[in-house]
């Protein structure tokens, strides 16, 4: 719903000004570490925390299939070296992608038949919460 006044970045995300040095390794989170932790926890969603940047550090064409969502509350950066396939139920959040290097590709496949519910940020008091109820 582009242009809808209720769907826009939260002010706290704008204030965080994530990017630059936060998205450079080694200070950034590795997406592979977040994926590994989620896979070990079976059905846990991957969450890139508020105020943090995760970098897609897969360069070999790896594939990961998640049983839950990828929820980017901070920022997820795809450098040109990224070469990765992700199968998941939902992806949402702030993604920063550059053109992949030659012979590299990024593929995100969404699967599933269950309904997914997202709350408008005004229902969460205008801030991000891990959970938010009506």
**What's the pLDDT score for residue 127?**
54
Residues 1-22, mean pLDDT to the nearest whole number: 50
Q: In angstroms, rounded to a whole number, what is the distance separating the alpha carbons of residues 123 and 26? A: 36
Paired strand residues for 32: none
Q: Is residue 38 scored above 50 in pLDDT?
A: yes
pLDDT at position 90 is 84
Q: Supply the DSSP string of 18-41, one letter for each residue.
A: --GGGGSTTTSEEHHHHHHHHHHT
Cα separation, 12 vs 18, whole angstroms: 11
pLDDT grade, residue 4 (50/70/90)? very low
Task: Please compute the mean of the pLDDT values over residues 44-55 and round it to a whole number.
Answer: 84
Predicted TM-score (pTM) of this structure: 0.73
Instruction: Say if residue 8's pLDDT is above 70.
Output: no
- Which residue bears the tokens 């809808």? 4
- Mean pLDDT value of segment 63-84: 88
- Which range among 2-11, 66-75, 86-95 shows the weakest confidence by mean pLDDT? 2-11
pLDDT of residue 63: 93
Q: What digits encode the pLDDT tens for the residues 83-104?
A: 999 998 888 888 888 889 999 9
């Amino acid at each position: 719903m582009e242009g809808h006044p209720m769907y826009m970045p939260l002010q706290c995300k704008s204030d965080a000004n994530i990017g630059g040095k936060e998205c450079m390794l080694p200070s950034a989170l590795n997406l592979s570490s977040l994926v590994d932790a989620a896979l070990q926890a079976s059905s846990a969603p991957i969450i890139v925390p508020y105020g943090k940047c995760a970098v897609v550090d897969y360069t070999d064409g790896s594939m990961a299939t998640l049983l839950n969502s990828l929820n980017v509350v901070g920022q997820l950066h795809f450098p040109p070296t990224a070469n990765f396939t992700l199968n998941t139920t939902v992806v949402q959040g702030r993604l920063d992608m550059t053109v992949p290097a030659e012979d590299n590709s990024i593929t995100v496949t969404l699967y599933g038949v269950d309904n997914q519910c997202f709350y408008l940020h005004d229902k969460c008091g205008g801030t991000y919460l891990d959970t938010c109820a009506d």
